[in-house]
């Protein structure tokens, strides 16, 4: 009996079957299709940003950021509106984040599955679908009239916080669910209580996901117009340029979104570049706050050990 011939070094030991070849072609097509979809979604974004900056270039300057409007808001800067937006976003974050995170912790870590949990989850979903104008009317009745805060930064921030609660609760719940159950069981076996486990094990590992909800909240609250217009925004307010503490929580304030609407529709003889410049500053403010949140999220995620 002749010995079997050894395979040639140039001859492949395994040949690709038609089924495997078909799967590879499908994978290549799917990768290219998804990449094309990503590019098509990014092109309009960059086109809008480039167009806004191009149109706003004649007005953009450092003085535009730190000066107050002049000549009936036809010239000058937008410092009162920029500072008011930062106050509104910061105050709404301070109000909504603790409530939303603690509510999500209760629903995911403490509440037993049942009718009450399903009812709360349904209420959160319905709250996310309420139009912003309805939130504005709620804030006008609940915080301006009933609570007695008047038209102020506090009333507007609380209204924005109510709008943001569904996003924070949903993102925090998903972040808590992503923490492996074995972490909790190991902590309980060592004698830790449920709260100690949640505080020292679950929440630190869920922080990156929690910051995702906060980032989404910042993007929404900074651009809202109706809730702010009903509860705390003012047409014009003169403050010292560059003064970071010009407002108190019970003051009315200007906001970038309302200022953009006002300049575009209510102020005559405005230069063509001014509304675009306000829009650029609004977008840059949102991107700046989001960048800080993303950087913090990346830092926290890098400290994970799993």
Q: Mean per-residue pLDDT for 194-214?
A: 86
Rounded to whole angstroms, what are the CA distances from 146 to 224, 228, 248?
A: 23, 17, 20
* Weakest-pLDDT range from 8-17, 181-190, 241-250: 8-17
Phi-psi region of 267 (alpha: psi -120 to 50; beta: other; left: phi over 0): beta
271 pLDDT tier (thresholds 50, 70, 90): confident
101, part of any domain: yes
pLDDT score, position 11:
52
Q: At 76, which helix (H) or strand (E)?
A: strand 75-76
CATH number at residue 222: 1.10.3720.10
CA-angle at 300, arms to 299 and 303, nearest 5°:
95
Please report the pLDDT score of residue 146 as a whole number: 92
Structural domain contains residue 111: yes
pLDDT per residue over 208-234, tens digit each?
888 878 887 887 888 888 899 999 888
Total-model pTM: 0.83
The answer to whether residue 16 sits within a structural domain is no
Residue 29 scores a pLDDT above 90: yes
Q: What is the rounded CA–CA span in Å between residue 206 and residue 229?
A: 35
The whole-angstrom distance between residue 41's C-alpha and the CA centroid of its chain comes to: 19
* Inside any domain, residue 37: no
Which structural domain, as residue segments, surrounds residue 269? 62-302
Mean pLDDT of 242-269: 87
**Packing angle, helices 18-56 and 273-302, rounded to 10:** 130
Tell me the residue ranges of DSSP E strands in 97-224.
Answer: none
3: confidence class by pLDDT, cuts 50, 70, 90:
low
For residue 12, is it within any domain?
no
Is 51 a domain residue? no
Q: Who has greater pLDDT, 243 or 5? A: 243
pLDDT tens digits for range 276-300: 999 999 998 888 877 877 787 777 7
Whether the Cβ atoms of residue 91 and residue 159 lie closer than 8 Å to each other: no
Q: Is residue 48 part of a domain?
A: no
Q: Which residue has the higher pLDDT, 2 or 207?
A: 207
Average pLDDT over every residue of 76-85: 89
Q: What percent of the chain has pLDDT over 90?
A: 27
Is 235 part of a structural domain of the chain?
yes
More confident: 132 or 240: 132
Query: Domain count of the chain?
Result: 1
Instruction: Look at residue 295 in the predicted model and tell me its pLDDT.
Output: 81
Count other Cβ atoms within 10 Å, centred on residue 85: 27
Distance from chain centroid for Cα 169: 13
Single out the residue of 252, 257, 254, 248 nearest to residue 219, CA to CA: 257
């Amino acid at each position: 009996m002749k010995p079997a011939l050894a395979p040639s070094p140039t001859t492949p030991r395994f040949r690709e079957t038609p089924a495997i070849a078909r799967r590879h072609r499908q994978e290549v097509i799917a990768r290219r299709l998804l990449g094309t979809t990503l590019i098509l979604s990014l092109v309009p974004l960059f086109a809008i940003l480039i167009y806004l900056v191009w149109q706003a270039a004649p007005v953009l300057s450092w003085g535009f950021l730190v000066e107050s409007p002049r000549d009936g808001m036809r010239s000058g800067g937008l410092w009162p509106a920029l500072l008011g937006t930062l106050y509104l976003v910061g105050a709404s974050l301070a109000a909504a984040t603790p409530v939303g995170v603690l509510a999500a912790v209760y629903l995911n870590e403490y509440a037993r599955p049942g009718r009450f949990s399903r009812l709360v989850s349904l209420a959160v979903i319905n709250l996310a679908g309420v139009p912003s104008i309805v939130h504005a009317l709620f804030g006008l009745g609940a915080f301006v009239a009933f609570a007695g805060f008047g038209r102020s930064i506090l009333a507007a921030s609380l209204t924005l916080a109510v709008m943001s609660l569904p996003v924070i609760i949903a993102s925090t719940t998903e972040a808590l669910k992503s923490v492996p159950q074995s972490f909790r069981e190991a902590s309980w076996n060592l004698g830790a209580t449920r709260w100690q486990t949640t505080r020292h094990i679950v929440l630190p590992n869920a922080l990156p996901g929690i910051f995702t909800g906060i980032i989404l909240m910042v993007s929404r609250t900074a651009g809202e117009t109706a809730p702010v217009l009903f509860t705390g925004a003012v047409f014009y307010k003169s403050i010292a340029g560059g003064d970071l503490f010009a407002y108190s929580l019970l003051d009315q304030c200007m906001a970038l979104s309302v200022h953009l609407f006002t300049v575009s529709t209510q102020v005559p003889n405005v230069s063509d570049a001014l509304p675009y410049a306000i829009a650029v500053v609004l977008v840059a403010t949102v991107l700046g706050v989001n960048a800080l949140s993303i950087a913090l999220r990346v830092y926290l995620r890098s400290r994970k050990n799993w």
